[in-house]
Amino acid sequence: METRKLQRVGGGTYTVSIPKRWAVQHDLDASSEVHLYAHADGSIVVRSSERDGAALDRIELGVDGDDSALVRRLLRSAYGTGYETVTLRPRESFADETRRAARRTKRGLVGAELVADAADELTLRNLLATGDVSVRQTVVQLQFVACSALRQAAVAFDEDRAADLDRLRERADEADRLFEMIARHFNRSLVSMAEIDRLGVRRPTLFDYYAAAGELAAIAESSVTIGRVADGFSGAIGERLAADVEAAADAAEELVASAAAAVLEGADPTDANEVLADRDDVTAALDRIERAVFDDPDAPFEGTAADARALTRLLDALARTVDHAGAVAAVAMRAAVREGPD
C-alpha cells in the first residue's frame, strides 16, 4: 500500500500520483489510458483493462454431442460461474437425448433460457438482469423452503400420515435452484466490482448470504432423507421414542429458522451465540436418543433390527441438519463480530 495526497488541478479536477514501479509492472506510461470506477462501497478502482467483468460476457465450447452428462454439467457450471451466454457446439451433431438433457438443465436455472436448441448449437442465455435480483430475498425464500421441507418430512413421525417424498424432492430442487442463482451472482462479483453495485449489497454481506444459502440448500436435501427413512418405521419404534425423535426434529426446524434469521436480520454476538447454544442442545438431545437406544438395555425401543438401522440413518440425517443450521449461525456470529459494537 502507498499513501498519496490529492492535488488540485484547475478548477474542478484532482489528481493522484502512482508509484513508478506500479506503472512499469502494469505496462503503463504517461500516454496510457486507464479506466476509473467509483463503487457504492466507497472504493475507487483504476483499471488498465477496458471493461470490468467483460470476461463473463460469453463463452463458446466444443463438446461431444452424444455426452448428455457433460453438456448438463457444462451448462450448470457456466451459469454458476456467471456467464451471460454459453454456446456449446458439437464435433458432429447433438443427439436428441443430449438436447433433452439441455432443456431439463435449463429448467433448473433461474432466469436462464435456451435461445438456440439445434443439432449444431445449444446456447443458454441469462435473461434476468442483476438489478432485478434481491439476494437477501432469495435467502428468505431459501429459509422458507428449508423449514417447509423439514416440516413436511416430520409428518412421517405420525403413524397415521406419510411423507410426500415427491413434494420433498421438489422442495430440494427448488432450494438448489435458489442457491445456484446466489452462487452465480457471488461468482460474478469476484470478477466484476460493478456486480456488487447492481446487487446493492456489500461484498462481505454477499459472502454471508452465499455461505448461508449453501447450508440451507443442504438442509432441504437432508429433509428428503429424513422423510424417506422416517416414513418406514415411525409406528414401530415405540411411542415414547417416536415422541423424542419428533421433538428433536421440531427443534431442528426451529434452529434452522432462528439461524437464518440471525443472518438476515443482523444479530448481535449475544443473539448469534444463543443460536449456537441451541445447536449444542439439539445435538445433545440427539446423542441422548442414540445412547438410549443402543447403549441402554432397558431402552424403550420396540422395533426390529431393520428399524434400528433406519433409526441410525434418521439420527444421522437430523444431526447433519443441525450441523448445517449451526454453520448458518456461525456465519451470523462472524458477521456480528465483523460489524463490531454500535
> Distance (Å, rounded) from C-alpha 163 to C-alpha 171?
13
| pLDDT at residue 311, rounded to an integer | 82
Task: Report the candidate in 173, 166, 172 with the shortest Cα–Cα distance to residue 150.
Answer: 172
8 A C-beta contact, residue 298 and residue 291: no
Q: Global pTM?
A: 0.85
Q: What is the pLDDT of residue 16?
A: 87
pLDDT at 114 (0 to 100)? 95
Look at the block and give the residue holding cell 429433509: 223
pLDDT of residue 235: 54
- Among residues 221, 242, 240, the alpha carbon closest in space to that of 160 is found at 242
pLDDT (0 to 100) of residue 90 = 95
In this prediction, residue 303 carries a pLDDT of 66
- Bridge partner residues of 121 (DSSP): 118
| pLDDT by 10-residue block (mean), the chain, 342 residues | 84 85 86 80 74 76 94 94 94 94 94 94 94 94 94 73 84 95 94 85 94 97 88 64 83 94 92 94 91 69 72 89 96 90 59
CA atoms within 13 A on the CB side of 215: 25
